A and B are shown apart, each in its own frame.
Chain A
Amino acid sequence: MKPRTIKYYIKEGFRSVIHNRFMSIASIFAVASSILIVSIFYIIGANIEHFMKQLESQMAMAVRINRNISAAERAELERQLLLLPNVARVTFQSREEALEGMVSTIGEIAVEGLGGVNNPLRDAFFIELTNLSHHDEVLRAIENLEPYGAEQVDSHAKIASALSSFSQITQIISAALMLILSTIAIIIITNTIRITVNARKTEINIMKYVGATDWFIRWPFVIEGMIIGLLGGLGPALISMLSYGRVVEFIQSIPQLSWLEFMPPEQIMAYVFPLSLLLGVAIGLLGSITSVKKHLKV
Chain B
Amino acid sequence: MIEFSKVSKIYENGARGLCDMDLFIDKGEFVFIVGTSGSGKSSLVRLLLKEIEPSGGEIYVDGQDITAIKRRHLPYYRRKMGVVFQDFRLLKDKTVFENVAYAMQIVEASNLEIRRAVPQVLALVGLQKKAKAYPNQLSGGEQQRTALARAIVNRPPLLIADEPTGNLDPDTAWEIMTLLEDINDRGTTVVVATHAHDIVDDMQKRVVALRNGELVNDIGVPEDEA
- Contact residues of A with B, CB < 8 Å? 2, 4-5, 8, 19, 202-203, 205-214, 216, 297-298
Contact = CB atoms under 8 A, between A and B. Distances in A.
A5 B107 CA distance: 10
Contact of B150 (A4, A19, A210): A210
B111 A212 contact: no
Contacts of B90: 206
Q: How large is the interface on B (under 10, 10 to 19, 20 to 34, 35 or more residues)?
A: 20 to 34
Given A19-B93, A216-B106, A209 B49 contact: yes
15 contacts: A4-B108, A4-B110, A4-B111, A5-B108, A203-B91, A203-B93, A207-B106, A209-B85, A210-B78, A210-B83, A211-B78, A211-B107, A213-B75, A214-B72, A216-B75
Interface in B98-115: 102-103, 105-108, 110-111
Contacts of A4: 108, 110-111
Main secondary structure of the interface of A (DSSP, over half): helix
Nearest to A8: B105
Given A203-B91, A213-B106, A216-B75, 9 more contacts: A4-B108, A5-B105, A19-B93, A203-B92, A207-B106, A210-B102, A210-B103, A297-B71, A298-B51
Top-3 shortest CB links A-B: A211-B79, A211-B78, A212-B106
Contacts of A206: 89-91
Contacts of A212: 75, 106
A217 to B, nearest CB: 9
B27 to A, nearest CB: 20
Contacts of B105: 5, 8
A238 B85 CA distance: 50
Contacts of A297: 71
Contacts of B51: 298
B204 to A, nearest CB: 30
Among A4, A205, A209, A210, residue most surrounded by chain B Cβ atoms (within 10 Å): A210
B158 to A, nearest CB: 12
B118 to A, nearest CB: 14
A134 B102 CA distance: 66
A211 B93 contact: no
Contact of A209 (B78, B107, B108, B110): B78
A297 B93 CA distance: 23
Contacts of B150: 210
Nearest to B79: A211
Contacts of A298: 51
A203 B94 CA distance: 11
